[in-house]
Amino acid sequence: FWYQKKQMWNKALTSSQKPKKSVNVSLDFIGAKEVFSKRKTDHKARRTLFGQCFQQLKNVDPDMFKVGVNVRAFRANYVGMGSIDAGGPYRDALENMCKELQSPALPLFMKCPNGRLEMGENRNTFVPRPSSTSAFHLTLYKFVGKLFGLAMRSKSLLSLDLPSIVWKPLVSDVVLDTDVQAIDRVSWKASEAIKEHEEKVENKSMEISIFDSTMRQFKFEVPGSDGKLKELIPNGKTVSLQWSNRKLYMEKLREFRLHEFDLHLQAVRSGLAQVVPITFLSLFTWRELEAQVAGYGMTDKQIDLLEKMTSYEGGVKKDDPHIKLFWRMIRERFNNEQRVRFLVFVWGRSRLPLTEDDFEKKFTISAHHSGANPDAFFPIAHTCFFSVELPKYSTLDIMTQKVLWAMNNCSSIDADGGPMGQRPVGPTDSDDELETLFE
């Protein structure tokens, strides 16, 4: 059935595709990094890369996002850095925008309660920030939706980790109790405790008076996903849970948790609808949508796909000893996080395309001119061209050490290490305009 859905979907995307427009976006990478170094939050969306991109594209016709596969929606220029956008800076910008979205640098997403408490499932996922519901915040969420649509069209997947409670409303699926439990185990335990006491009263093993005295600690005011208290009814903080109002309490609690992110996700879906044929999304399961926007990470299956989509140049052959060491390193020595970092190192993005057809170009491993002692050299990556010059390391340990060092220390998109322009000196936000959400 997926094959038929995919055919219909691709046909709808192709028929609604628009001619590529020449759009340039100037980005102050250094200024964006300062938001992190100063542990500030870009509430006005002006300093982060996401904010800068939003400000420059918010009034542009959304048709600019209706591109074809492997087509860039805009040209990214890093001001004051020696980067020429042959694809590297564009991918790097999108990658960094995803990092900003999943950090306190922007007021849009936060770690789910399970993640903050280090318990339960989905600890690595992020949910919308419940308090970010102003008109401006919703405009930002709408822009996030446009980026989702861009990912679906261009196949340049976004490095985002979002749970089912986020994806389901986007495909008009019903959010269930299990979706809430999957992000907030603690609050669900409280609900289970109330149900257990209710059952004890109903089977005559507990008096109603005992239920009332035990449950008095619960008010019609509960913590949301951000830990802030929300009243379930007017003046709920003064109303205790009792046997007589238990049904109302459970009904209001469930309603609150199931619909906590409705406003945020309506805005995301609104932005998505400006870029892709939204009526077709109801054909997808939430997992199918997640795969088309964010991919699968770097699973073993994805490594198999990467190896299949690799070419070798400069006299390098697939059966060379150092190439065999390379694939052993990726499979045996690297964990998933390190695999992702390697992909960022050589390509500027952390998600592989889903299929062979979605690749713009193959990954290339070429010869490294390292002289007589290759073990003394580091690999050289070219993110714009999805390639790496790999020395002929003699052992797996040496290769792993050298590649890890390069991955962790050589991620700059600056091509020549020198300036090709100056950072803008125009008006900037003062630090007191950047309220912090860093903990």
Q: Which residues, in sequence order, are bridge partners of residue 189?
A: none
Instruction: At 53, list the tokens.
Output: 């991109």
Asked if residues 170 and 275 have their Cβ atoms less than 8 Å apart, the reply is no
Give me the amino acid identity at 72.
R
Local structure of 258: helix, strand or coil:
helix
CA dist 265 and 62 (Å) reads 19
Q: Which residues, in sequence order, are bridge partners of residue 231?
A: 221
Asked if residues 191 and 258 have their Cβ atoms less than 8 Å apart, the reply is no
Which of the residues are catalytic?
Answer: 384
Nearest to 109 by CA among 93, 88, 131, 90: 131
Q: Which residues, in sequence order, are bridge partners of residue 77?
A: 26
CA dist 410 and 388 (Å) reads 13
Instruction: At 174, list the tokens.
Output: 């019903």
State the CB neighbour count (10 A cutoff) for residue 146. Answer: 24
Local structure of 27: helix, strand or coil:
strand
Q: Please list, in sequence order, all residues whose beta carbon lies within 8 angstroms of the beta carbon of residue 33, skipping any fewer than 6 positions away.
A: none
